[in-house]
Structure 1
Amino acid sequence: MLEPLLSLVIATGLLLGSPGPAPLALAATGAIYGVKRGTPFLLGILSGLSFAIIGATAGLAALFASFPNIKTTFQLLGAVYIAYLACKIASAPVVASNAFQSAPGFKDGFILNLLNPKAYAAFLAIFSQFLLPFEDSAVGYIITGITCLLVATVVDALWLCLGGILKPVFSHPIQARVIRIAFALLMLGAVIYALV
């Protein structure tokens, strides 16, 4: 059981930890607002990810295969919402006044991953390739899902903390503006890459 578990953890870490919209948004939130103020956003992302896990195990792939327009609609809604978050990050004030500006919250994180096709695709791949071998397949799906959520929690918290490490740079207005715009452009690039 150790080898399949290790394979699952590594695959999940790589799939969910690669720089996509959610990790980049977490890093930007940590850099701009700090880890403490970014925690509700992280919890929202993890809650949205829980829905993606449930959706993947409940046969969302079959729904998307039967009705491709639904998948396209999810992709477009997700892209628009990620673009909104990228604009919010890029246009945030560059001086210390961001203490009074609201950081992305739980709802923002939840919607981000709820509409994130990358999350659904990642879990469909994980469940088809790395499902933990239990005699009862339902137990295998549940334990695999819980393991994925635990790995995602660690990986996403690391992205938020990585951003938090950059927070001191944000006391310099020019550097702060450059980093915010870079994070926003990376988020938009990840969306465009996913759509193409």
Structure 2
Amino acid sequence: MEVVISLALTTALLLGSPGPAPLALAGVGASFGFREGTGFLVGILAGLLMVIVLVGAGLGTLFTTYPTAKLICQGIAAVYLCYVAYKIATAKGGVACQTAEAPSFKDGFILNLINPKAYAAFLAIFANNMLSDYSSQMNALLTGAICFVVAVVVDGLWMATGAKLRPFFAKPEQATKLRIGFAIALLISVFVSLLQV
């Protein structure tokens, strides 16, 4: 049980700290609401599940073996996150009269699928916190399942937190400031992650 708790806490800290995906979730929640942003949230989680499967299957070592692949994915992820920030910042109107569409399932899926930080996080988790009571395949499966459950909770909380801010920004001017603030925070997190290469 201690190993499971340690795994859950490590995952929560790695996935829950403010970064591109959590800030995008909060920004989408604040700009479009939880219900409208659900497709984006499900996409984020589906992309993360794919990353967990790839890392669990041993393919996450690609970035260790080929550092250029990591740099290429990081560049693509940065460009894509800038696109998501743009969608958040350019939505028009107050929360009651939203005119833009929320980022979609596809946007969230692609964001996490090409996010090198997700691969690095799960490489660290699988290297240091993998369960060890069963066969290696079962340990990888259980570790991945626990990580995914934690991700559902953490990412849902980020989206819900953003959605809770919506009523405070009902007027178009206030909503615009909120969206631009989240977009700028997202761009800063992208910049910081690029500096950590």
TM-score (norm 1): 0.94
Q: Is the 8 A contact 2:55 2:61 kept in 1?
A: no
Map 1:146-165 onto structure 2 (within 5 A).
Answer: 146-165=145-164
* Number of aligned residue pairs: 194
Any idea what the Cα deviations from partners look like across 1:128-167, whole Å, max 9, x if unmatched? 1110122311111100000000000001111111111011
| Counterpart position of 1:113 | 112
Q: 1:32: which partner in 2?
A: 31
Instruction: Give 1:15's aligned residue.
Output: 14
Aligned pairs for 1:25-64 (under 5 A) are 25-64=24-63
Matched-pair contact (CA < 8 Å) for 1:94–1:170 = no
Which residue of 2 is the match for residue 87 of structure 1?
86
Moved over 6 A (4+): none
Instruction: State whether residues 32 and 170 of structure 1, in contact with CA within 8 Å, keep that contact through their aligned partners in structure 2.
Output: no
CA deviation vs aligned residue, 1:57-97 (integer Å, no higher than 9, x gap): 22234322222211111000000000011011111113343
Distance 1:15 1:63 in 2: 20
Residue matched to 1:97: 97
Aligned to 2:135: 136
Q: Summarize deviations over 1:16-72 as a string: whole Å, max 9, x none.
A: 011111111111111111111111111000000011101212223432222221111
Stretch of structure 1 that moved more, 53-62 or 7-16: 53-62
RMSD: 1.2
Aligned-partner Cα distance in 1 for 2:33–2:75: 30
- In percent, how many aligned pairs have the same letter? 51
- Answer whether contact 2:93 2:176 (CA < 8 A) is retained: yes
Any idea what SS the aligned residue of 1:168 has? helix
Structure 2 CA distance for aligned equivalents of residues 146 and 25 of structure 1 = 24
- Alpha-carbon deviation of 1:177? 1.8
Query: 1:53–1:123: 8 Å Cα contact kept in structure 2?
Result: yes
Structure 2 SS opposite 1:135: coil
TM-score, normalised to structure 2's length?
Answer: 0.94
Shift of 1:15: 0.4
1:178, distance to aligned residue in structure 2 (A): 1.8
Please, which runs of 5 or more residues in structure 1 have no aligned partner? none
Range that drifts further, 67-76 or 165-174: 165-174
Equivalent residue number for residue 191 of structure 1: 190
